[in-house]
Amino acid sequence: MYRFAITPQIQRDVEWLEDANVRLGRNGVVARRWAGRLRRELQAGAIAASSRMEGVPVDADDTRRILAGDRPPSVASADAVMVEGYRDAVAHALSEAAHLGFAWSPRLVLDVHRIAMGASETAHAGTFRDHPVHVVDGSGIAVYTGPAASHVAELVKELCAWMNAAAGTAAPAAAALVHARIAGIHLFSDGNGRCARILATLAMWQGGYTLPEFTSLEEWWGEHPRSYYRAFQSLGDHWKDTADVTRFVATHVRAQRRQVAALAQRLSVERHVWTALEDIAADDAALPPRATEALFDAFHGRVVANRYYRDVTGVSVATATNDLAALEDARLIVASGEGRSRRYTGAFRLIALVAIAAHAPVLASADASLGQQRAVVLEDLREQVLRR
C-alpha cells in the first residue's frame, strides 16, 4: 500500500481545512434557490474542468446548458453524454455514501466508472482493464507503467479495505491517497482520471466535508495542470506498491486549501450579486424570485434561452415566455432572433442596477462595454468582501 507522512505543512493545511469547514458551516441557512444555483455553478465548473482534462472540448457554459437539458449545437452528442455521465456518477457515489452502513467496495468503483463513462461499450465502462498499460507523455514517450492487469482487482479490493479502516486519517489526506492510488493502479482502459477525481470527492464528502466549497478539486486542477501532473511523479515511472506519495498528498491537500479560499471569496461575491438581482427582478420587473435565474446568467454575460430558463426553474413554456418578456420590457435583458432561436443577453441597465445596489462605481463612458462594467462591479465587491 502507498505510504505517506503527515508533514508539518500537511498538518497545517488539514487544520486550516477543518477550521474552514466549521466556519463556512456557520453561514447558516441560505435561500433554497440560491443554494441550488450555487451547487449548479460549482458542478458545471468542476465537470467542465474534468472533462477538458479528459479531452472533452466543453467549457463551463456548455456544461451548464447540457446539464439543464439545453445542449448547445456546437457540442457533439457523445461529448454531452460524457458530461452527463460525470454528473450522474458523482450523484451515484454520494447517494451510496448516504446509506446507513456504507462501505467502500470494488463494485462501487466499477459502478462509478460505468456511469461516468456513459456506459460506453467502446470504453469498456464498468470493467477493469485486461491488458498492460503504459502512460505516455505528449511526445509519445512512456512515462509510467502500471501493474499487471491480473493484479488490478486485488489492488482495488485492498484500497477499499484501507478506506473502510481509515477512520483515523484526515479526510483531505485520505482523498489524496485515493486519488493517487487509483491513478497508480490505472484500473481502466479509459477514464482513470475522472474516476479518481470522483472518488476523491467521495472521500471528502464521507469525511464530513459536504459543503459545495469542498466537494471538488477539478477546477483547481484544470487551472493548474502542471502542478497536477508533476505531483504524480512521486509514483515513479513504474508500479511500486509501497511508493512514498507524501509529495502527492501535500500537493493535493494544499490545492484543496487554496481552492476553498478562492471559492469562499468568489461565492461571497456571487451571493451579493444574487441578492441584488432578486430585488431587481421584484422591483423592476414585478417577477418572483425564479426570474433571478435568468438575470444571474445574463449578468455574467451568458446567453439565456427559453428552454434553458424553464428547465432550471421548472415552469411551463408560456410562463417562461412571459417572464423573459417582462425582463425584456424592464430593459434588463436584450433579445435577438425569433422563435426557437430567440436568445437573451444582459442589458447595460442590469449591470448598472447591480452596481448601484452593491455601492460600486457605474462607468459613465459611452464606450464602456458590458464586460468592463461587470468587471468593475465584481472587483469592487471582492474588495468589500476582503475588508469584512
What DSSP assignment string belongs to 124-185?
Answer: TTTS---S--EEE-TTS-EEEE---HHHHHHHHHHHHHHHHT-TTS-HHHHHHHHHHHHHHH
CATH code 1.10.3290.10 region(s) in the chain? 8-263
pLDDT 10s digits, 322-359: 999 999 999 999 999 988 889 999 999 999 999 999 88
The boundaries of every CATH 1.10.10.10 domain in the chain are 286-387
State mean pLDDT over 118-128. 79
**How does pLDDT run across 71-109, given as a tens digit for each residue?**
998 999 999 999 999 999 999 999 999 888 899 999 999
The CATH architecture of the domain made up of 286-387 is Orthogonal Bundle (1.10)
Question: What's residue 163's pLDDT?
Answer: 95
With a pLDDT cut of 90, the percent of the chain lying above it is 63
| CATH for 8-263 (1.10.3470.10, 1.10.150.50, 2.60.120.20, 1.10.3290.10) | 1.10.3290.10
Of 82, 90, 77, 71, nearest to 48 by C-alpha is: 82
pLDDT tens sequence across 37-47: 888 888 898 89
